[in-house]
Amino acid sequence: MVRLALRKDSPPDLRGRLGATAGALLAAGVVTLLGALLFMAPTMAEIVLLFGINAILVIGFQVFVGNTGIVSFGHVAFMAVGAYAGGIAAMPVIDKEVTLPDLPGPLAGFEVGFLPALLIGGAVAALLALLTGPALMRLSGAAASIATLGLLIIVSNVLAQATPLTRGPQSLFGVPENTTFAGVYASLAVVVVLSAWFKWSAAGLRARAVRDQPAAAEAAGVSVLRSRLWAFVLSAFITGVAGALYAQLLTAFSPGSFYIPQLVLVIAMAIVGGIGGISGALLGTAVITVINEVLRKVESGVSIGGLDIHAPSGISFAALGVALILMLRWRPSGLLGASEVQFEGRTPAPPEAAPAETGAAESGAAAPPVRSPAEVAAEE
């Protein structure tokens, strides 16, 4: 018998991983179905696509922050790198001659389709994480968070100064509009599977062991640097894919498109839903998207019972701040916390103990030792 449950933990065996992955995929399927229904309305099409991209972005953020416990302020940098790498790779050669006349020769004559552009965006972002991770992942706590913010500042300034590659602070235009509903939500399904499988894999267990009991994990032979680095690289890849999707949706963007406002949006979505789980990432993205769109309509003016209501400009960002304060005050773990939608089999009731076994238990026989998460991770 299989049932659907909301749990924080899953058995680390193959059956438990499959059940946890299937549950996360079901949550993504529900989101996709609702998105497909809303996508039929012409005014909702772009909102649905942006929601899917933001969901991928928040899941990428969650893969690192949820598993390592390090709050990253630099993940939007990977989105920017993925957007520029994927956008330039997808741009037609004839448009590159006009938009980027000083582009180096190999890149100037290079053009790929939608899917290769996503992979290139994710790969370049992952490469950046692999190069910077060994230095950043040696830090912990506030020092690591501030260091990731420094990464965002550095990447933003490099993109603004690399005029031959990015047009500098000006908008890069000419990127083809290849992002579709199928492309976004198929990418979301793949990302959900990747992140869920990582979470319940040996690498994910090691990352959480370092997060919860760093001294015990290190004593058990778990490498702190390596366990954090794998999560950092995977999350950068997912975030880079989101950036490539974003680039092929907007078709024109600048380094300023990937800075503090986008960072605040990602953090708000992750905190509201629950920074420790994939299901929470999807829920938080949905809640903040709905709030944002309602407030934007109020900003542009709505009529209720003959009364025209106009909210001050920028109220949507103020609402994000209020949402963050309320969640951190009353429910700091988020709406779902670390809980995940999971499929699990019903365990049959254990048979009644034989009299000899009962007597042994009553006589004070030693119970099997309880292993710590660090020991489980080390065995994996």
Q: Could you report the per-residue pLDDT of 139-163, keeping only the tens digit for each?
A: 988 999 999 999 999 999 999 999 9
Looking at the predicted structure, is the pLDDT value of residue 189 above 70? yes
Looking at the predicted structure, is the pLDDT value of residue 366 above 50? no
Distance CA 28, CA 51 (A): 12
Distance CA 14, CA 151 (A): 37
Looking at the predicted structure, is the pLDDT value of residue 202 above 60? yes
Residues in the chain: 380
Using 50, 70 and 90 to split pLDDT, how confident is the model at 300?
A: confident
| 120, two tokens | 């290139």
Pairing outcome for strands 172-173 and 2-7: unpaired
Looking at the predicted structure, is the pLDDT value of residue 75 above 80? yes
The answer to whether the CB of 244 falls within 8 A of the CB of 121 is yes
Our measurement of the distance from residue 188's CA atom to the centroid of its chain's CA atoms, rounded to an integer in Å, reads: 10
pTM over 0.75: yes
Q: What is the pLDDT of residue 362?
A: 46
Q: What is the pLDDT of residue 210?
A: 92
Residue 298, classed as helix, strand or coil, is helix
Looking at the predicted structure, is the pLDDT value of residue 359 above 50? no
- The residue-averaged pLDDT of 79-95 equals 94
Looking at the predicted structure, is the pLDDT value of residue 127 above 90? yes
Q: What is the pLDDT of residue 380?
A: 56
Distance CA 375, CA 380 (A): 9
Using 50, 70 and 90 to split pLDDT, how confident is the model at 38?
A: confident
Q: What is the pLDDT of residue 269?
A: 92
Distance CA 243, CA 89 (A): 13
Question: How many helical (H) and strand (E) elements, i.e. helices and strands, does the chain have?
Answer: 17, 6
Q: In percent, how much of the chain has pLDDT > 70?
A: 86
- The residue-averaged pLDDT of 296-323 equals 74
Of 193-202, 249-258, 279-288, 348-357, the poorest mean pLDDT is in: 348-357
Alpha-carbon torsion 226, 227, 230, 233, what sign?
negative
Choose between 201 and 126: higher pLDDT: 126
- How far the first Cα of the chain sits from its last, in Å, is 28
